[in-house]
Every structure is written in C-alpha cells, then in structure tokens.
Structure 1
Amino acid sequence: MRRRIMGWFSAGLISLGVGHAVACSVPAPALSIDPPGFYDDPAGYAQAVKPMRGFVDRLNKAADSNQWSCALDLLEGWARADALMGPIAGYQGYYERSWAGTDFALVLLRLPKDVSSANEQRLRIITPWLARIAVATRDADAINHLHNNLVYWAGLNLVAIGTVARQQELVEAGLARAREGIRDIGPRGELEREIKRGDRALHYHTFALIPLVFAAELAQRHGVDLYQENHGAIGRLANLVIQAVQDPSSFARITPVEQKPFPWTFQDELSWMEPYYAHTRDKRLPTLIAPRRPFNEWRLGGNVTAAWGAVLPR
C-alpha cells in the first residue's frame, strides 16, 4: 500500500519498531457473532460486539505500531479456532463478520514483504480462515437481498480477502458487488436507496462511498479501473460528499429532509479521502484531510492515514 504519508508521521511509526518486545496475549476467540440489530437494541448490540471489537482494536493497534509478530499471533489464534464462523440467527452478525474480515485482510495487506516471506507457514493457517469468512459473506442472503451499502461493503470484503488469499474467484465476486454500487450512483452522485434513509441519508452516502473507494484501489492491483466505470460514478459520489462536508446545506439538492449525521460521519468515516486524494489529487481535499488526521477506522485495518495517506501540500 502507499507509504507516502507526511515525514513526521512516518518517523513516528518507524520509531515504534518491529520487534517482539511487546507482550501479545490473544483474547479468547469469539466463535460466533450474532448481536441484535444496531437500531433494534443499541445497548444489547454494543454489549454483544465487545469481544470482537476488542480483538479488532488490539489487532489494529499491533499493526499501527509495527508489532507484526503480535498481529500474526492474534490472527493465527483466531484462525485456529475458526472464530466468528458459528451460526447466526439474526442478520446483524453477517454485517459484523463481513466488516471484521475486511479489517483482517487490510491488516495483512499492510504487512512488509519481508515479514510476509518469513511467516508463510502462519499465513497458510490464517488465509483459509479469511477465505471462509469471504465465502460466508458472498453467500449471505441477509446481505445480498439488500442491494445497498452493505452489499458494497461485502464487495470490499471479497476483493480484500481474495487479494490476500490469491483467490481470483473471490476477487471477481467482490468486483461484481462493487460494480452494483457503482451502477447505483446517479447523475448527481446520489444513491436512491440511501436517500430513503431519511435524516441519515447523508451519513449513508458517506458510508457507502468508503467500500467503493477502497475496492477501486484494490481493483487496480488486478488491472481493473473501477473509477472509470459508469462515467466516473465514484467521482460523482465523492463530489457530492465533499460538497456536503464543505457545506452540509448543499445536500438539500438531493433531499429536503434535514440531515442528522452521526458524530463519526465527518470524522473517521471520511477515511476514504486518504486513498482518494492520493489517486486524484483533488485540490479541495487537503484542507479537509489535514485537521482530521490521522484517520482511524476499525473496518479498514486501523490507521488509514499511515497505510494509505499521501503527503499534503504545505
């Protein structure tokens, strides 16, 4: 991935080292993930996802501090237990497992080449588990019937894990889902299904954009330019969101409903701006990116700025 982040930030990361000095205890594997819906029972949801989110947080912090041995300990421990692969009775668990698998894959895509080469045996344990997560995501009717942002996130899951596992059929399944999202983008950058979210429409446009940008970035590794598809549709959606960040009232041209973004909508869920700026050099973005750095998103491997960021103009 791109390592073009500001010099001071890179130096700070390098100073943390790659050694084995930090003790790494692997949390007990969460064998299944089956919380109540995020909106159905917020308190029950928050409690049920704690074990998985705690693991993700520990994994991402290990990656952010270049503690790659610890990161691999964590992933191997959960892989050996086939974590998160237990039955799901509801629907939210399918989304959570998809997001977690995406994060795990993006952490592995941050691995330095020498670390990957030295740990091939461990990766042979981890990657089949990730592939099982991807197949379960691909086949999840609880996601596939929605035809909304969660399908696009499933697409990123499949492209990311397929890239790590070198399974082209998973990559192709992911590209198909990302392309569904790209086809959904209208002439003004709007997503009709996300407009139906009422006062959360702006939030869900932003949330839908994240997997499309990251899928487009990974697709380039496979010789596919998703940015050009549907007449540059990702760019239209990005432009809509950029304008809304600059002036939230601009979103009124998409829907007259007054918007109520979450606190994180215009913070870490703008993490897509890092790879998008590196790709496009959109002159509007540095002033939006700089005060928000570093971007940290639990679904995207931790510190997105460190992994994907470009040097900003002074």
Structure 2
Amino acid sequence: MRIRKSNILGTPGRTLLSTALISCIGVASVEAAQCRTTGLRAPVGYHQIPDTAAGGSYDCDIVAPHRGDMNFTSKYKGSDSARNELNKEAYQEYQEASATIREFEKKVIAGADDYQVDGDGPAARDCVLDNLDAWAQADALIPDDINHVGQAVRKWALAASANAYLRVKSSAPQGSLDATKVARVEHWFERVADGVRDYYTDRQPRKINNHDYWAAWAVMSSAVATNDCGDWRWSLNKFDEAMGQIEEDGYLPKELSREDRALEYHNYAIQPLTLIAVMAEANGVPLRSQYQDQFDKLAGNVVGGLEDSSPIERITGYAQKADGLTTAWGLAWMKPWSEAWGPIAGMPEFLDEYGPVKNTRLGGDIEFLYRVDPFWPADGEVLPANIRTN
C-alpha cells in the first residue's frame, strides 16, 4: 500500500541529522505545495522541439527486461562502517548481475538524445517508448525479492527511465505517442515509484544519506511524468529532510563518515538535490530560496573541495580520493545550478574544462537540456522554440 506522507525526524550531532526540527516551516510549505492546476511540468529545456536530420535510418535495439530477483552484491562488501573500501571481486559480481539494468538506463537516455538532440526523428522517439513498454509489460524492477543494493539500483533506473520518457513526451507532437503504450508505461512508473517510496520512507535517521536524495529525484521525475501529486509531495518532503541534515558549516554528516570518500559522496549527494530544486522551481515551488543558506553552503563546499580538498580533509582526517570526480558526468549538476541561479565561484571554469556535461541519471545531455532558462515565463504557455545553433 502506498504511504502518503513520510515522518521526518531529527537528532542532534554530526553523525545523524543536524537538528531535532527539520524546519517545521519548510514542511508546512511543502505540504501546501499542491500540483499545479494545469499539471506538473519539466523544465523548459525538456520541451525543446527537435530538428529532424535528413535521410538515414534508425536501428532500434530493445533491451531484454531484467527478470528475477534484485539481490545484488555491494561493491563495498567487507568494508567497515565507512563503506569506503572497494571490493574488486564483489564489484565485478555486482556489475555482471545488474548489467541489463544499466544497459536499459543508457539505451532509453541515448534514445532521448537521438530524438531530441541529434534529430533522428520519430523512430528514435518510438524506440524509447518501445523499450519502456517492454519493461513495463514484463513488470521489471518490481520483484518480490530485493535487497538494499537492489533498492539503490531500482531508484537509479527509475530516475533515468522517467527522465528519458519526460523528454520524449514533452517534446513530441501532441498525439504522436501510442496511447496504449503511454498508459502502460505510466502505470509501470507509478508501481516502480511505489517500491522506491516504500523503502525510503521513515528510514532511521542513522541510515538517511545520498541514496534518499536520489530516491527523491527518481520519484519526482516519475511524478512529473505521471502527474502524481502524492509522489510529488513525497519528494519535496525528502528534500526538506535532506536540508535538515546539513550542518551549520555546510557539510553532510553521513557523507563525512565516508572518510577518504567524503568529498566524492558530497558531490554525489548534491547532484539529485540540485535537480530536485530546479524541477520544483519549474513548478512554482522555490526550494532553493527557502533553504538558500544551507543549500548554498553545501554546494560551495563541494565546488571548493574539488578545487582544494584540504578543508574537508581537516574535518575528516583523511586524504580524499578524487579519481573520477572531475568528469563530464560527475560535474553535470553544475550546469543546471548555473542556469537556474547563476554560477558559484569556480563552476564556470569546471564547466569550460570538462563540458559538455552529460549524466544518464540526471536526464542525459545536460548541456542541451539546460542551455535555456529552465524556468517558465509567468504565463507558462509558450513552448520553447527550437533554438539549435549548429
């Protein structure tokens, strides 16, 4: 049964939540944040009308749905409470067991890029829907047997697939998508989102971390795709919960506990939080201004840490592992932030050096999606024109 509202608890101290009150005012405002009367909507960039490239054909590969359980091995198997020591053998086992799901994520996002960015036409658009429909018909990602690693994998798959669908749904001509498939896919999204919500609702404070933030982003993306107000409000509540975890100095205690991976996991945590805030503001919910002090501190600490990790090293007592942090996907959150609210010092240089930025679970070609102001004009009625410049 779907849980309609999460209980939000706080506990003082750096190792749990930061306060006993997770902003009562914030929770009240979230509870008042109903769906827009004309429906939830994606940021403006999702609605960019694609060009159609001349000639050629499009080959559509359907990813066979993942079947069976989702009991996956953690790549940190055998690590202590810091969960920071990579187990190469366990990681290989995890990669093999979850390979089909990762392939599905990449395929549907690539299809959305092929349609909206590269102009591969209706065949690319329909390929995204056909892949989603195949997984919906197979009841994929809704197993009876799923462990905590499988729960993590499920929410990431929901984030990628819901964003791929949102992109083709938002930019396709009205009536061009098969209505039967649309209904089946959206019902499947709701069921997968139910599973994500059930697991990430009312978690013990000591367990709440970046996974909860990714769950909120996944469910929010599905909520916009299906216009589900209950899922929408749940995601906003989870954002409130996250903001309540940020300490006065702008760090997240649970991510600091990752010791030499603390910077890595702060960067990982800010990614979904940024996209949640942008999506919310595109629907008239000003999360960033509501939590600007702590949210900006967190983002500033991440950008500053990527330039100079010594501050976070002094706090944790560990030299930071930086491999893979400064990449087109690891820094992708900076583009939406910059376009929505203006860049934090250091962001333009990172984006210039490592762009164009892309991230499958944040929506795909982020450079394309956020090359336009993500927020709608006051009347909210004018669809963005095709503004391709190449």
Residue from 177, 192, 195 that aligns with 1:136: 195
Quick check: 1:64 aligned with 2:113? yes
Alignment of 1:232-243 (within 5 A): 232-243=293-304
Q: What do the CA deviations read for 1:84-105 (whole angstroms, capped 9, x no partner)?
A: 1112342100010001101111
Alignment of 1:134-173 (within 5 A): 134-140=193-199, 144-145=203-204, 146-173=207-234
Taking the aligned partners of 1:254 and 1:222, their CA distance within structure 2 comes to 37
Identity %: 26
Q: Tell me which residue corresponds to 2:66.
A: 30
Contact kept in structure 1, 2:190 and 2:226, CA below 8 Å: yes
Work out which of the two has the higher radius of gyration on C-alpha atoms and give 1 or 2.
2
Larger CA deviation: 226-235 vs 166-175: 226-235
Residue from 167, 180, 185 that aligns with 1:126: 185
Taking the aligned partners of 2:142 and 2:339, their CA distance within structure 1 comes to 36
Quick check: 1:76 aligned with 2:137? no
Contact kept in structure 2, 1:143 and 1:151, CA below 8 Å: no
Q: Tell me: CA distance 1:240–1:16, structure 2 relative to 1, closer, same or farther (3 Å).
A: farther
TM-score calculated relative to the size of structure 1: 0.88
Equivalences, count? 304
Contact kept in structure 2, 1:31 and 1:85, CA below 8 Å: no
Structure number with the bigger relative contact order (C-alpha 8 A, sep ≥ 6) is: 2
Q: What do the CA deviations read for 1:163-221 (whole angstroms, capped 9, x no partner)?
A: 11101000111111111111111222100111111101001101110111011111123
Deviation at 1:58, TM superposition (A): 1.4
Q: Tell me which residue corresponds to 1:276.
A: 337
Deviation at 1:279, TM superposition (A): 1.1
Alignment of 1:76-95 (within 5 A): 76-95=133-152
Quick check: 1:103 aligned with 2:152? no
Which runs of 5 or more structure 2 residues have no equivalent in the other structure? 1-42, 78-89, 116-123, 374-390
**Equivalent position amino acid for 1:301 in 2:** G
Contact kept in structure 1, 2:126 and 2:177, CA below 8 Å: no
Taking the aligned partners of 1:16 and 1:301, their CA distance within structure 2 comes to 22
Contact kept in structure 2, 1:94 and 1:137, CA below 8 Å: yes
Deviation at 1:274, TM superposition (A): 1.1
- SS of 2:251 mapped into structure 1: coil
Taking the aligned partners of 1:57 and 1:268, their CA distance within structure 2 comes to 13
Computed over aligned residues only, the root mean square deviation of the Cα atoms, in angstroms, reads 2.5
Q: Tell me which residue corresponds to 1:51.
A: 100
Taking the aligned partners of 1:155 and 1:20, their CA distance within structure 2 comes to 39
Contact kept in structure 1, 2:210 and 2:265, CA below 8 Å: yes
Larger CA deviation: 97-106 vs 116-125: 116-125
Deviation at 1:3, TM superposition (A): 3.8
Larger CA deviation: 68-77 vs 223-232: 223-232
Quick check: 1:293 aligned with 2:355? yes
Q: Tell me: CA distance 1:90–1:114, structure 2 relative to 1, closer, same or farther (3 Å).
A: closer
Taking the aligned partners of 1:93 and 1:84, their CA distance within structure 2 comes to 9
Residue from 312, 329, 334 that aligns with 1:251: 312
Contact kept in structure 2, 1:190 and 1:237, CA below 8 Å: yes
Q: Tell me: CA distance 1:285–1:117, structure 2 relative to 1, closer, same or farther (3 Å).
A: farther
Taking the aligned partners of 1:269 and 1:149, their CA distance within structure 2 comes to 14
Deviation at 1:231, TM superposition (A): 4.4
Q: Tell me which residue corresponds to 1:7.
A: none
- SS of 1:270 mapped into structure 2: coil
Contact kept in structure 2, 1:95 and 1:143, CA below 8 Å: no
Deviation at 1:36, TM superposition (A): 1.0
Q: What do the CA deviations read for 1:107-153 (whole angstroms, capped 9, x no partner)?
A: 12222443464216122111110111111000015993421111111
TM-score calculated relative to the size of structure 2: 0.72
